[in-house]
A and B are shown apart, each in its own frame.
Chain A
Amino acid sequence: MSKYFQEQIETASRDEIIAIQNEKLVKQVKHVYENVPYYRAKMDEKGVRPEDIKSIDDLRKLPFLSKDDLREAYPYGLLAKPLSECVRIQSTSGTTGRRVVAFYTQHDIDLWEECCARALVAAGADKNDVVQVCYGYGLFTGGPGLNGGSHKLGSLTLPMSSGNTDRQLQFMVDLQSTVLCCTPSYAAYLAECVNERGLRDKIKLKAGIFGAEAWTEEMRHDIENALGIKAYDIYGLTEISGPGVSFECSEQEGMHINEDHFIAEIINPVTGEVLPDGEKGELVFTSLDKEAFPLLRYRTRDICVLSRKKCSCGRTHVRMAKPMGRSDDMLIVRGVNVFPSQIETVLISNGYPANYLIIVDRQKNTDSIEVQVEMTNEMFSDDLNTIHAREKKLVDALKSMLGIRANVHLVAPKTIERSEGKAKRVIDKRNLYQN
């Protein structure tokens, strides 16, 4: 059993990777300029010609693409191949409710599925495994992506799709699935059911690949313990291909980005300036191989950090941290980037409800941040010192997550407004003083 699906490329030297990227980028820019009038107009507007792009060092000369561009160009405006050469679409409504339709040629599907196969091998799978895919199938990329990856690997693939937990468990037991692919929240639910129904000794799972939604290290430990598996993260987005843009290896510390297919950049979300590796900012992808829907410098709105630290798994491709928030939600407090999702993670892992309110204020030219959390029966005590100690633990945890102090204000239950969908979590009082 090999440790890699495509060893040569996954363990290529930095020089080799850069050479591949240079060659592919030059070709890709030419392909896009010639076939996508929408992007050509953007390049013309910036005064950039395809021949100006000679290597990845010239990447920053190219204009960005955003979700707004995708909406404006919907449905065919960013298509770079005739429909006769396209074989599939995938689609997502995205977190902001805007529909994205991405097109694939057979070549595009092959490279996407190869990326997923790399992820499966990194999670310890090979052709002898039984891969239970319970991501949704259809327009959503989760099911088709991992399904395709499992086929490429030659594993027995169980195309379960999502839901119908009784059937999931029955197949898991009867067919002795070894690898589980689904969202982390569904994995947590399945783990609960497995233990409630006393099936733990009857299952043979060894690994899980969980993506498409945010999850915490605590969730990872819980799922790993409950199912007796190793749980791996996977990242992707429909705009760029689907799951498998990056994936975790045995190190479980960051996800290797498939750099032979995608160039990742981190930019300052406000200025668009490219930031050095190791700095936190918005993740931007350029797809090097996609034929039908080749996005150049697509702003994902995901905030994360890249690491080029050598990985013990032997893979040489850059690693990205789990995204820590959306650029649109970012707050800058005392010069530090703060994301509501970071605060939410800390609250949940400290036993508080995920319902909270962040209040940012400025007094005497100093920013302050306060987190209002609802008191619960579990966190309450008759002893003030006990409550203060719990409060302090939360303040300390917030400080270690955010890098700055946030005050905690405990409020009565049901006083923070709940709203369906995207809740209003932030009140920035600093804006009130601006003219």
Chain B
Amino acid sequence: MSMQQLSVFLENKPGALGEFAKDLSRYHINMRALSIAESRDFGIIRVIVDDPYEATRILRESGYIVQPTPVVGAEVSDEPGALLHILETLSEQNINVDYTYAFVSQKKNTAYMILRTSDIPGTEKVLGKSGVTLIGQDEIVDED
């Protein structure tokens, strides 16, 4: 069920992110979600794409530093406290969340959380048991 996110090294300079977005579009890489971790000189761009393996190959070939990173994707319902439920469930099992970010599927009109934790298989198991719907890489692809 797990998903691969691409972590990309990008220099912290004007236009770098725009250039990256242009390259994704030039190589027909569909980006579903994006999050940025910034440092003084550089940032780590974390993206969810349709085909992480093909995208890694293409991006590396065009000179990017790219690392596929396993993450967990979870559906978040409209109910209040859905996110809190996820975080509490993990915390009870001593699973640390390194970072998390959200995105919305246009088609299904659903919100998803991407979670990077200290224990990916453990996270999948625990969340699955507690009734959270997990998504796989295939399910984020819009059939357009």
A412 touches B65 (CB 8 A): yes
Q: Give the shortest distance, in Å, between A94 (CB) and chain B (any CB).
A: 36
| Residues of chain B lying within 8 A (CB to CB) of residue A380 | 7, 9, 65, 67
| Contact partner, A412, options B11, B44, B69, Cβ 8 Å | B11
A79 to B140, CA, bound (A): 81
Q: Do A377 and B39 contact each other (CB < 8 Å), given the known contacts A382-B46, A382-B116, A383-B98?
A: no
A384 to B37, CA, bound (A): 8
Judge if B139 is at the interface, Cβ distance under 8 Å: no
| Residues of chain B lying within 8 A (CB to CB) of residue A410 | 9, 11, 41-42
A377 to B41, CA, bound (A): 17
B39 touches A384 (CB 8 A): yes
Please give me the residue from chain A that is nearest to B43 by CB atom: A384
A414 to B63, CA, bound (A): 7
| Residues of chain A lying within 8 A (CB to CB) of residue B60 | 377
Judge if B132 is at the interface, Cβ distance under 8 Å: no
Judge if A225 is at the interface, Cβ distance under 8 Å: no
Count contacts between A and B, CB distance < 8 Å. 49
A375 touches B42 (CB 8 A): yes
Q: Identify whether the interface residues of A are mostly helix, strand, loop, or mixed.
A: loop
| Residues of chain A lying within 8 A (CB to CB) of residue B42 | 375, 387, 410-411
A409 to B69, CA, bound (A): 24
Chain B 95-110 interface residues, beta-carbon cutoff 8 Å to A: 98
Q: Identify whether the interface residues of B are mostly helix, strand, loop, or mixed.
A: strand
A388 to B64, CA, bound (A): 19
| Residues of chain A lying within 8 A (CB to CB) of residue B37 | 384
B63 touches A382 (CB 8 A): no
A382 touches B41 (CB 8 A): no
Provide the B90-124 mask, 1 if CB < 8 A to any CB of A, else 0: 00000000100000000000000000100000000
Provide the B48-73 mask, 1 if CB < 8 A to any CB of A, else 0: 00000000000010011111010000
Judge if A272 is at the interface, Cβ distance under 8 Å: no
Q: Do A377 and B67 contact each other (CB < 8 Å), given the known contacts A382-B116, A387-B39?
A: yes
Judge if A413 is at the interface, Cβ distance under 8 Å: yes
A204 to B44, CA, bound (A): 51
Provide the A375-411 mask, 1 if CB < 8 A to any CB of B, else 0: 1110011111001100000000000000000000111
A412 touches B41 (CB 8 A): no
A388 touches B63 (CB 8 A): no
B46 touches A413 (CB 8 A): no
Please give me the residue from chain B that is nearest to A377 by CB atom: B65
Judge if B134 is at the interface, Cβ distance under 8 Å: no
| Residues of chain A lying within 8 A (CB to CB) of residue B33 | none
A3 to B63, CA, bound (A): 55
| Residues of chain A lying within 8 A (CB to CB) of residue B44 | 382, 384, 387
B67 touches A412 (CB 8 A): no
| Residues of chain B lying within 8 A (CB to CB) of residue A387 | 39, 42, 44
A380 to B45, CA, bound (A): 12
| Residues of chain A lying within 8 A (CB to CB) of residue B11 | 410-412, 415
19 residue pairs from A and B, CB less than 8 Å apart: A375-B9, A377-B60, A377-B66, A377-B67, A380-B7, A380-B65, A380-B67, A382-B46, A382-B69, A383-B98, A384-B39, A384-B44, A387-B39, A387-B42, A388-B39, A410-B9, A412-B64, A412-B65, A413-B64
8 additional contacts (CB under 8 A) given A375-B9, A413-B64: A380-B9, A382-B5, A382-B7, A382-B46, A384-B39, A411-B11, A412-B11, A412-B63
Binding site for A on B (CB under 8 A): 5, 7, 9-11, 16, 37, 39, 41-42, 44, 46, 60, 63-67, 69, 98, 116
